[in-house]
Each structure stands twice: as C-alpha cells, then as structure tokens.
Chains A and B, each alone.
With several copies, the nearest count.
Chain A
Amino acid sequence: MAAPVTIRIQDADFDIAAEIDALSHGRSEIGAVVSFTGLCRGRDDGREVAALTLEHYPGMAEAEIRRHVDTALARWPLSAVTVIHRVGRLVPGDRIVLVVTASAHRQAAFAAAEFLMDYLKAHAPFWKRQERADGSAWVEAHQHDDAAAARWEKQ
C-alpha cells in the first residue's frame, strides 16, 4: 500500500490528536508516530511580538511540500505523512505548522519529521510578517535554517 499523504494549507486551526488518529487509525503496522507542532511565540530576538501574518505562494507551496514528502517517502520506510501549514494572521500561542510521520519504528518517524521541518523552514514558499511594538516587519531568514536543511544533502 502506498503511504497516505495529507498536505493542507489553511487559515483554520488544526486538531493534532484528530490528525494523528486519521493517519494511524486501524493501521496496526504503525508502531511510532512523531508529531511536530510549530507555535507562534510571544517574543523573538528579545522583542515582543503581538501577531504574525503568514503569506504563501498558492500552488507552489503545496507542490514544494509534496516534493519533500516524496523525498522522505523514498528515504525512510514511512507508513503515512501529514503536513498542515496555516496562513493568515496568528497570535502568540497559536499553532502554525504540523508535521506528523508514522512508521513501524521510531528512527524513521523521527528522522523524516525533522527532515520535513528543516526543508519547510528553508524551502517552502511561506513568509512571516511580525507585528511588534516598533511597527511591522518581515521576518529575516536565518542562515542556520539553510544549514539545517543542507545537512540532509550530505547523508
């Protein structure tokens, strides 16, 4: 059976437990499920953040995530993958992104989830704008995110 893949980009919040259940229910070959949830933080680089607005490139964002999920499926023995990325305005504590990976064993699930998050950070066409006390500003890309994504090339 081909591993089921769910990719969604949406304004609405998501339910972590429901997504984990949807991907693992009734599939007794799954022994390990790893979830990563990214949350909007109230401070960044020492400055208070009132809100984030997330913009994306419709069409390419889904396609780019799909390409990376396919890479993960080719690389690790995964049973299922779900990626959900929210867009729009979010406030501190709000969920931004969810990656769920399932496998028979934990190593594959952990590695694939971390790989997908590293690639999402560096390559998926999303942009964050912060509302701060000193005005509003686009978040700068971090070099360490490029480095985190690049380490998967070497292995």
Chain B
Amino acid sequence: MRVKYFAWVRERIGKDEDDFEPPAEVRTVGELIGWLAQRDDNYAAAFERPQVIRAAIDQCHVQADAPIAGAREVALFPPMTGG
C-alpha cells in the first residue's frame, strides 16, 4: 500500500510517500495514523494532532473510521487551503 503525504505532514516526515504493509490489526485510516505516529520522531511530529489530519483513499476523501483494506493509495494531509 502506498501512503502519500502533503504540505506540513510531508515536511515533518521528510518525504512525500512510503510503501507499507501495515499489520492486520491496523484496519482503519485512524489506526494507520496511530501506527505511523509510533515509527519515529518525524512521524510522531507529523501526527501529533491526529484530529486535524485529513485522509483520502484512492483519491477520494474519507473519514478516520474508513477501512483501509484493499486500498492502493492512502493520502494523509492537513486541512486544504486551495482556491
């Protein structure tokens, strides 16, 4: 599964994507964020306020309780500021 990062999430982690196979107990986007936050200090800094993180699965917006099973691409990013 590819995990992509944007804006300050990307900057804090220090790269724009990872390829992961998370353990089976990581079932939702919210659980993925919690799992990533424990990897190292950079990931911890990126996800220190998990409630502000927005997510997309295969380029569609999803909520934190969305299951990640079958996802090819999960993206994690701050609230959007386009327009």
Q: Which residues of A contact B (CB under 8 A)?
A: 38, 54-57, 59-61, 63-64, 85, 96-97, 106, 117, 120-129, 138-141, 145
Contacts and interface: CB of A to CB of B under 8 A. Distances in A.
Given A60-B60, A117-B83, A127-B77, 13 more contacts: A55-B6, A57-B59, A57-B77, A106-B83, A121-B81, A122-B80, A123-B80, A125-B80, A125-B82, A126-B80, A127-B82, A140-B79, A140-B81
Interface string B1-43: 0001011100000000000000000000000000000000000
Majority SS of interface residues in chain A? mixed
Contacts of A145: 83
B56 A57 contact: yes
Q: Find the residue from B6, B7, B80, B83 having the highest chain A CB count within 10 A.
A: B83
Contact of A57 (B6, B8, B81, B83): B6
A119 to B, nearest CB: 9
Contact of B56 (A55, A60, A96, A127): A60
Contacts of B8: 138
Interface of B: 4, 6-8, 56, 59-61, 75, 77-83
Given A60-B59, A123-B61, A141-B78, A129 B7 contact: yes
B81 A139 contact: yes
A38 to B, nearest CB: 6
Nearest to A139: B81
12 contacts: A55-B7, A57-B77, A64-B59, A106-B83, A117-B83, A120-B82, A123-B61, A124-B83, A125-B80, A138-B7, A138-B78, A141-B80
